Amino acid sequence: MIDVAPFTANWQVALPALIVAVAAMLVMVADLVIRGPDRDALAVVGMLGLAAAVAAAVSLWLARGVPDGFGHTLRADRYALFFTVLISAGSFLTLLMSIDYLRDQPIAAGEYHALVLLSTAGMIFLAGANDLIVLFLALEIMSVAVYVLAGLLRREIRSTEAALKYFLLGAFATGFLLYGIAFFYGATGSTRLDVIAQAVARDAAGPLRRS
């Protein structure tokens, strides 16, 4: 008999972020067939996805005691769920306010909405991360989408300059972050945040000082 409980827990913990990511995919597919003034519907698709993510987060909040997923590397505790709702609400307002803006700017609406949703999914994973590797991957999902958003006005020099500067800054920051993760792994033997916290509590900063 196959135990499906771990698979169920994995899906439950990642559900809000997966819903937002699926909404981004739906926006990209809809962008292929929707033309003209009907393109405002792309924002509606994105906002419906964000509303569904909030509903999923609220249901997990009310469920209480949702186990950690993916080998305890992703959590759906109340801290993560609170920020899931907060981030989704902020993205919802961003898409809503962007409808009129995109009518006046030479920006592909489908690309814009999909990138906002993908960066939102990264932020949701970031809020629930219980492992430095997951934290790094979530940060990169968010950052790459925001790099592109910064340079989406291709004919504007300031937009291209902003995207290039942000990319270079992010590349250097990624190197420093990975260097720090390597230190923590070498000192504690794990990249999980709870294990690192226990190791530091037992021996203060001893392992890090020796490394």
Q: Where are the domains of the chain?
A: 5-167
pLDDT in tens, 68-120: 888 889 988 899 999 999 999 999 999 999 988 888 887 888 899 999 999 99
Rg, C-alpha atoms of the chain: 20
pLDDT in tens, 136-194: 999 999 999 999 999 888 888 888 898 899 899 999 999 999 999 998 888 888 899 98
Burial-class residue 129 by CB neighbours within 10 Å (0-12, 13-18, 19+).
Answer: buried
Helix (H) or strand (E) holding 77: none
Q: What is the pTM for the complete model shown?
A: 0.88
- The SS3 assignment for 3 reads coil
For the chain, how far is it from start to end, CA to CA, in angstroms? Answer: 46
Contact of 132 with 184, CB cutoff 8 Å: yes
Question: 141-159: buried (b, 16+ CB within 10 Å) or exposed (e) per residue?
Answer: bbbbbbbbbbbbbeeeeeb
